[in-house]
Amino acid sequence: MDSCLRLCFRRGSLPPLPSIILMISTFLLFLASASAGSPSGIGKSSKSSVFSLFNLKEKSRFWSEAVIRGDFDDLESSSPRKKGVANFTNAGNIANYLKLLEVDSMYLPVPVNFIFIGFDGKGNQGFKLHPEELERWFTKIDHIFEHTRVPQIGEVLTPFYRISVDKEQRHHLPIVSHINYNFSVHAIQMGEKVTSIFEKAIDVFSRQDDAYGNRDGSGVLWQVDVDMMDVLFTSLVGYLELENAYNVFILNPKHDSKKAKYGYRRGLSESEIKFLKENKNLQTKILQSGSIPETVLALDKIKRPLYEKHPMAKFAWSVTEDTDTVEWYNACQEALNNVAKLYQGKETAEIVQNKVLQLLKGKNEDMKLLFSKELKSGDANVLHGECLTDTWIGKERWAFIDLSAGPFSWGPAVGGEGVRTELSSPNVQKTIGAVSEISEDEAEDRLQDAIQEKFAVFGDKDHQAIDILLAEIDIYELFAFKHCKGRKVKLALCEELDERMRDLKNELQSFEGEEYDESHKRKAIEALKRMENWNLFSDTHEEFQNYTVARDTFLSHLGATLWGSMRHIISPSIADGAFHYYDEISFQLFFITQEKVGHIKQLPVDLKALMDGLSSLLLPSQKPAFSQHLLPLSEDPALAMAFSVARRAAAVPLLLVNGTYRKSVRTYLDSSIVQHQLQRLNDHGSLKGKLAHSRSTLEVPIFWFIHGEPLLVDKHYQAKALYDMSEPSSWESHLQCNGQPLLWDLRRPIKAALAAASEHLAGLLPLHLAYSQAHETAIEDWMWSVGCNPYSITSQGWNISQFQSDTIARSYIITTLEESIQMVNSAIHLLVMEHTSILSQEGELVNKYNYVVSRWKSISTVTGELRYADAMRLLYTLEDASKGFVDKVNTTIAVLHPIHCTRERKVHVMMGMMKMIRVACLVTMIVVLMWSSSTNTNSRLRMVRMVSGIGANWGTQASHPLPPDTVVRLLKDNGFQRVKLFDADYDTLNSLAKSGIEVMVGIPNDMLASLATSVKAAEKWVSKNVSAHISSNNVKIRYVAVGNEPFLETYNGSFLRTTFPALQNVQSALIKAGLSNQVKVTVPQNADVYASSNGFPSGGDFRTDIHDYMIQIVKFLSDNGCPFTVNIYPFISLYIDSNFPVDYAFFDGNASPITDGSATYYNMFDANYDTLVWTLQKNGFGNLPIIVGEIGWPTDGDRNANLVYAQRFNQGFMSHILGGRGTPMRPGPIDAYLFSLIDEDAKSIDPGNFERHWGIFTFDGLAKYQLNLGSTNSGALVPAKGVHYLERKWCVMKPSASLDDPQVALSVSYACGLADCTSLGYGTSCGNLDDRANISYAVNSYYQRNNQLDEACKFPNLSMITKTNPSVGSCRFEIMIEPYYGAAERRSGHLQKPLSLVALFVFLMLTLV
């Protein structure tokens, strides 16, 4: 019932009605919920299973094969089956009837192994984990994560470096995704043999951090070679066959007393690099050395699977016996012994030599390139030490944290967030170890302190014996909880306290006698019960229920740390945007130099390393392609000028690790200027490759600046550091590691380039960033910013990890899934809005839905098995399946509504000015244009053309439209000299022939795609719909509206890529037809395309997500002498915001004014209009003409939609523009079209019931109120002439009919679903009717809609036909006009009668049930 209620109210098909209608609605909801019950095989619980594949929005059911229906035949009669009649009527809408449900969430399984080494009681502090206590804490870890996206991130210095996110951005895909990660945690405890191997490996692979230190190594810092440890971890994962899961190792090895502190490092320490720099002989020796084995640790690839398949449960626990790992143990033991012999007795120079050779001869290109270049050049000054860490991310699907290592710190130097400190990771020594080391004497002292503290509060007053006993028990309980429970060796003091507690128990039992006070008895009984539950000092240990504070603290800290590993390395947030899979990635490498270079080989660029690094970002199924281009500044003056203008210098206050400031003068490029110029080159084709427009190939341009001085650049799909800088070769950053600053390498920005390229390709972000729903922004946690990948800060390496490769693959998969869900949900939502009708191909519709669901399921299953290559192959089929389902839904709806709805307005338009003040939108770029006031005024006078009269919008979505000739006469009688259409209907345009009325003809949004991709299609459309009418019929067409509000936020970017190309092609077609001087193109936009950054008009600019698209369009309009068209609706601001100041929507000056500089605004229209004026001026188009394409006020369907408000608004607006005052920023006449001319009773009511009542005339051409348009002699509206009505008779509720009749609910719902009941509801024109009049209105609406056919008033035992007008007060019971078929016949055949017959057929079946 709850889900049905949500569904019904979300649809908003009817406003609240009086009591009888509310009763009917409730009854209908009950029926709907009954008919949409759970499918067979689905449990009763409405809660979603944590392991479910889908969470279906309205039903909240977990996955079941019953979701996919198969009870339809391919060929089925269009008439409903007898068993489906009740289903048909009760379902309420097509979606419910066919059981097509919107999907709220989809779950991708993620298998994770947490592998514990040294927690079997043989590791550090003899700590032993038990499966029950581990499960107790690990089930508290969130194992369901929403996939999240991080909006565009900026860096600010306030006064320290912090990240900032624009929360006002609009997003193509949601920040918190429909896709969820469902983590299955498998905890694996390794035995003593595995622990001993890792302890030995740490000992063998470690060397002193200080190359000049003492040889005995006591009290010094040690570094473990993580490259060697990599072999060990990889071999263990391979041996147990854990490759098809993500593995996080938690190490707790015993501490070697000689190596008090150690960490992990891949390269050399700072001390070793200094040693290498000073020792030229050593450098020469390294360069002359022959080849060495790639690894001195050789391990055979032996396998012994731990499990056949990952448990895929919320939490599972496995313990490996030593027999399970004996083969691996023996192989490792032998290999480690060989390595120990190899390094035994080596001097520092030999150790450094072997390590450098290991890096030079290894497979990894990053460190090989770093060392080989510098050693060969004889300049080792650019080499820097790697950060020492206690966590690491391996190249394969494993990472580890060593709890015995370090601790260490890294992250921002001062003032940053989420910094990794020495207290960030769990510490066995300081938690468990601190407790275990307490001595008997210390225990005595702590007990005495507790006694004194407790009894100090008693003072010298006399106290009851029972109170003293209870205080003593409290002391012992607390002491035992801290120091007696969970200990490996019990303190003698605990045994003494155990005896004392027995004595206390006996004393408490003595209080049960009759001689004691009742309150004393009660206290004693409660204390005895508490002592029985605690069982504090007995020899029987309650191992899995009560734990020490130390263990609980440690386990909670460990759980949080491992949660971070899942959030940051396994399923990290990605950048905002949609990232699609392409078969081929073509990297276009543009090397921008100051002077012309003969060949790319002459550049100081290691192309092989760059190309290998970029190739590593691709999936195995993707093919890389590269092309190199030289772009010298000396040969492109425009680019050289842009480069020069973009250069900036800033004195940056650098906050050092020691807390002091140092000024750092930095030269940098303003990427916005450079990017604009690069985009210009790209638009002209000089930067495009051969496959720039290929659907299977993505081109990625990479611009590589080569300059003679240190430079930084803002990152906008390029790396921040620039290649081939002169000294200094590295630059001190705001980051640190273990108290030492981290340096940016300005000569080798390959790491930064790969990070930027992967963000462009798949949205990968630095490892420390993740989106936080609690903060609604990105947060930082530097714990896992480790490893030698492009996204870490603790290493100079750039090898892509398998974690990141998988994230790239998932990014492509999730984008496709998300877009598929959006498409399917939108299509189903359309079916939800359609009342149940007879469908001829319902089986095909359900089958297409089922096929999409099956693709979802297959992709989710394959992804959960980490078979990303197989998942990629399914993406194209999913795209085709989703499109097929959507096309079928559109076809189905088109069959139900043969008149094609060319236009559907939405309610999410420009917010009111007062709302803008409260919710300021951030603007990503501000351009300040200087001009003099005299020049501005003159330009306005030249720009604005004088207009006469007002225009009107003529919409045709009516069940009984007035004949076009009647409407044209109505326009002329009321002095309208301009009309705006939403399509190019032949009859409509033909009726305007020789009328002298200027016409704006419309192109619907659904035609934009075809016009955008074909100039021929545009030429054909112009020839048929513009040229023919101008030349043959003398229709005065002046504008072509390309689309209608195509960038409306609620369209989610559906028309972003087609609007401008369509605009260009239509303009080209007009030019070819010789009409471009008399017919201008425009794109009517909703006022939500611009917003204010400060709440005032002067802060106006285009929305950040469409800024570039809008600039393209505006520049094109300006270049071709075309106007900017905007739709402004103050009513919508009042409708969506109950706090909006009502008077500010009108023009009578009663509202509190808003002052913006020298301008004062007394109404929302002026403020909104001038926000657009400021927006155009800021972007260099201050002289562009503006047309107000739609403005008006509805008269019914909402409490604020009434005749009084509509007359007040429209008359105020007419007086405002007829006076020629204009707005503060643009005085003078305003071009505008009233919305709208006539009511349209067949429009969608998705935005609101008011949508059918915008007209200044009723559906039959009657004036609704007095309105002086300044164009008639009488100063009043002139009604339509020659309108023919049906007979004066109505369908009403019988006096004998009972309100309790169960047919009432069905009849009213049916009638309103197929007619128009939008005038029924709170605050509407018919909102005060009683119950019987409500029912009469509903059945009469249906009766009139069906042309007063007798069968349309045969509601069972309910209705009758009368010739007495049932209208009450302002509530008008309509008589329909005679139907007009002229236009319908040309478009799609006869409309009204066939629909009526179908509807009546269904209705008659309903009465027979």
List, by residue number, the catalytic residues: 1045, 1190
**Which DSSP letter does residue 1050 get?**
G
For residue 270, CA distances in Å to 347, 382, 732, 847 come to: 18, 12, 15, 65
- Residues 642, 673 contacting (CB under 8 angstroms): yes
Contact criterion met (CB below 8 Å) for 240 and 247? no
- DSSP assignment of 216-227: T-TT-EEEEEHH
Backbone angles phi, psi at 301, to 5 degrees: -85, 90
At residue 204, φ and ψ (nearest 5 deg) are -70, -40
**Across-strand partners of 317?**
187
Asked if residue 738 lies in contact with residue 389, where contact means CB atoms within 8 angstroms, the answer is no
HEC sequence for 1149-1211: CCCCCEEECCEEECCHHHHHHHHHHHHHHHCCCCCCCEEEEEECCCCCCECCECHHHHHHHHH
Q: Where does residue 1319 rank: exposed (0-12), middle (13-18), buried (19+ CB within 10 A)?
A: buried
Candidates 332, 203, 216, 215; CA nearest to 262 is: 203
Element (H, E) at 154: strand 153-157
CB atoms within 10 A of CB 990: 17
Contacts of 378 (CB under 8 A, 6+ apart): 283
Among 408, 312, 1238, 299, CA closest to 783: 408
DSSP structural state of residue 633: G
Dist. CA 457–CA 1379, nearest whole Å = 94
Among the listed residues 1023, 1096, 1037, 1051, the one whose alpha carbon sits nearest the alpha carbon of residue 906: 1051
**Measured between alpha carbons, how far is 974 from 1262 in angstroms, rounded to an integer?**
12
CB atoms closer than 10 angstroms to residue 1214: 19
**DSSP one-letter string for 654-711:** EEPTTS-EEEEEEEEE-HHHHHHHHHHHHHTTTT--TTTT-SSEEEEEEEEEB-SS--
Phi (first) and psi of residue 28, to 5 degrees: -65, -40
Distance CA 650, CA 737 (A): 26
Give the H/E segment covering residue 769. Answer: strand 769-772
Q: Running DSSP on this structure, what letter comes out for residue 962? A: P
With residues binned 3-state (H G I as helix, E B as strand, rest as coil), the percentages for the chain, rounded to 5, are 40, 15, 40
Contacts (Cβ under 8 Å, ≥6 apart) of 1200:
1131, 1134, 1135, 1142, 1323
Among 404, 379, 380, CA closest to 391: 404
Q: Are 18 and 1334 in contact (CB under 8 A)?
A: yes
Instruction: Say what angle helices 1015-1022 and 1056-1072 make with each other, to 10 degrees.
Output: 60
Strand order across the 730-737 sheet = 410-412, 730-737, 740-745
Is the separation of the CB atoms in 186 and 310 below 8 Å? Answer: yes
- Report how far residue 1140's alpha carbon sits from residue 1200's, in angstroms, rounded to the nearest whole number: 12
